[in-house]
Structure 1
Amino acid sequence: MVRFGFVFSMIATVSVATSAFTQSSSVQTAVDKNFLAIETAVAEAGATPIASINHARLAKAEGVEMPASRVLIFSDPEINTPFLEETVRAGLDLPLRVLSFDQDDRPQIAYTDSQFLKVRHGLNDIQALNTFQSKMLEVLNNLDATPAPTNGLFADYGVIELRSQLSVPKAVERLRKAVMEQDDTVWFGEVDFAAEASHLGVELPDAVLLLFGGPAPGGVAMAGFPAIGLDAFCQKLLVYPNEEGGSVVIFNDIAALAELNYGSSAEPHHGLNKRLTATFRTAIE
């Protein structure tokens, strides 16, 4: 089950100013062309688009300049479900996603591949991993694309975890409310993995993925680190049950993603981590 909405909220306090960033129109055109090719391929592959996010356009509307960056998130329950049966935490890196972006005035495409999932979540279902990879390569077709880096990646790398006595439905309700009460966040939707799996006759524990992002602070954080747009801004927040009847909330460490992709991070990444962690912790207490 996928729900969509659009609401603005504030998730971080970041000093925002228009940068001196410039970009050639040819690079912008190439980024857009690659993205449209990906959208077409996703439709032809029979996958369901979940969110189409133009990071740069959203940031510019808030007065922040950043390199061209567009991510497409798309889903196939038959691909998602076997991973979630093995470990529900794999939902943090689902559904599938591809990023078209400008890196140093060069159009590039990045995607999450099966090796990233395998290493980060300790997955061992070879058939499921091969199916995931085949679908991704079908979508990418003949496009020149690079998988997300796995050098330095290990189990649970860059995963921030919070625990709550609240049930999953109550935690999701509180977290959604906390996000939607802010001022400058875009709400992209949510994915109910258990509901998806039930249509396939598979019973999974409650597992809900919330998708949202802050265009202004996100644009600042991505300005020199556009590749992190594959995993951030859309920020992903996965909620699933713990052993005591409460819930676990996990989300991506933005600084860790920057370090994985670029070997370094910046103050906005750490500032956003602190703000997000405080917001989520307060919501589920």
Structure 2
Amino acid sequence: MFQASKVAIVGLAFGAFLAPAFAAPAQEAVDRTFERIAAGVSRAGLEPVVDIDHARLAAEAGVEMPPSRVQLFSDAAVNSALLAQDLSTGLDLPFRALTYAGADAVQVSYTSADFLKRRYGLDDTEALAAFDAALAPALDGLDGVEPVPVPTEGLADGYGILTLQSAHDVPETVARLRAIVNAQSDTVWFGEVDFTAEAAALGVDLPPAVLLLFGGPAPGGVAMAKFPSIGVDAFCQKLFVHAAPEGGSVVLFNSIVALAELHYGTSAPPHAMLDERLTATFAKALE
């Protein structure tokens, strides 16, 4: 179900290559907390999906940003229950936790069930409670670092979700999007998650639904430089493709502008430029 590319952890190979604006202790502190979360994921029996080292990948591309690493991990039963309620939730699945250097200390940000409830108008309290219950052990025992959920103030149904319609079925749409993403010279492919196959292994029948994961180290680093907490959803850009009831497919992805405004109350020109570039690129693939 998980098809993660080896390049997804390429940033981890450059442990000594730090962005010069940030001291080694800051990177070491981020790495230490990141590894504690990874250990918690293992203890909780969750499935690692992909690890992405934002700062080292950005540094390799010549862009400075604060030390930052995100990890995605999964629980198939939790995913399937939420997707059965609303397929669109696949844009915010599976679990993810961002570890980054804040102004004074390491910070950890994660997506909570309350975020899902507000962004998708969910009312299945059992499925939402199961989401938080499965996530909690992975974020426990971080030695003085208190994980903080992604802000939900001002969050409403559909907030910051950009949508494109595809006349093609899901496999063809995925193939077209994968091809155009890989054709970008400044983009790295991280992998994909086939939620339908994951659910089928549990005996749950879902329409075709696939999450694509990729990122642009240089533009992503610029976007995160003064807005690091958006890295829980940005840099590792997510494209979620699911079958449309009337035929064809629906493609969902995040607005970087909306994410910045949710986290910081403001955005910057690079965020709008990324939104425009991504929308134009994806639309071209679907022609």
Is the pair's TM-score, using the shorter chain for normalization, greater than 0.5?
yes
State the one-letter code of the partner of 1:236: K
Match of 2:249 in 1: 247
Q: Distance in 2 between matches of 1:7 and 1:245?
A: 34
State the one-letter code of the partner of 2:4: F
Offset of 1:21 from its aligned partner?
A: 6.9
Q: How many residues are aligned here?
A: 274
Match of 2:14 in 1: none
SS of aligned partner of 2:151: coil
Q: Distance in 2 between matches of 1:200 and 1:187?
A: 28
Match of 1:117 in 2: 116
SS of aligned partner of 1:250: strand
Match of 1:67 in 2: 66
Map 1:1-285; keep pairs closer than 5 Å. 1-5=1-5, 22-143=21-142, 144-285=146-287
Question: Does 1 or 2 have the higher relative contact order (CA < 8 Å, sep 6+)?
Answer: 1
Normalised by the size of structure 1, how large is the TM-score? 0.93
Match of 1:12 in 2: none
| Cα RMSD for the two superposed structures | 1.4
Task: Please list every run of 5 or more consecutive structure 2 residues that lacks an aligned counterpart in the other structure.
Answer: 9-18
CA contact (8 A) 1:6 1:187 kept: no
Q: Distance in 1 between matches of 2:54 and 2:70?
A: 8
Q: Distance in 2 between matches of 1:26 and 1:182?
A: 34
SS of aligned partner of 1:108: strand
| Cα distance per residue 1:127-165 (max 9 Å; x no partner) | 111111012111111331100000011111000000011
Runs of 4+ in 1 over 4 A off after TM superposition: none
Q: Distance in 2 between matches of 1:284 and 1:173?
A: 10
State the one-letter code of the partner of 1:74: F
State the one-letter code of the partner of 1:235: Q
Task: Please list every run of 5 or more consecutive structure 1 residues that lacks an aligned counterpart in the other structure.
Answer: 9-19
Q: Distance in 2 between matches of 1:66 and 1:4?
A: 25
Cα pair distance change 1:47/1:148, threshold 3 Å:
same
Normalised by the size of structure 2, how large is the TM-score? 0.93
SS of aligned partner of 1:244: coil
